[in-house]
Amino acid sequence: MQLEKLTSCWLFKGMDKAELGRLAGLFRELNMEEGSTVFIEQMSGESLYLILEGTVKISRMFAEGDEKTLIVLGPEDVFGEMAVIDGAPRSATARVAETAKLLALKKNDFDQLCEADPRLGMKLMRNIVRLFSQRVRENNDEYRQMLIWSMGRKSAKT
């Protein structure tokens, strides 16, 4: 597997060819058809995924039978990253929206990388944490905007 062509992907930011070559052996390629499920909410987390081709829909159940799409991801997007950090149950469901080619990195392989090559493991961890931090900030901004909108509607009613 050649990761060198993915140097623009944030997951591999700051990595040289040798490091990308080392990581290539840890990822496995998955081909998934439209409509197939990558993982479901509350399922135990074991891998992060990088989209090479296609799209993946991330959704959550808000009430019985009421599933809401949170985001649709495309090439070079990563999802399921919390699984390699904490292995906790999935917080959302991931389904293939358009036939996809994914790269998967299992938590066990990530842990072994961190033991065998702490410097490379730290680079990868730092990039994963950057993504997670960015998503938290974006969600905080969206939540703030929702509260402002809600407060404006309440004051308009009074």
> What does the pLDDT look like over 32-66, one tens digit per residue?
999 999 999 999 999 999 999 999 999 998 877 78
pTM for this model (two decimals): 0.83
Range of the domain at 86: 4-157
Q: List Cβ neighbours of 86 (8 Å cut-off, separation of 6 or more).
A: 45
> What does the pLDDT look like over 5-36, one tens digit per residue?
777 788 999 999 899 999 999 999 999 999 99
The C-alpha atoms of residue 151 and residue 62 are separated, in whole angstroms, by: 23
CATH assignment at residue 64 = 2.60.120.10
Average confidence score pLDDT of the chain:
88
CA 134: distance to chain centroid?
12
The domain total for the chain is 1
> What does the pLDDT look like over 63-96, one tens digit per residue?
777 889 989 999 999 999 988 988 889 999 999 9
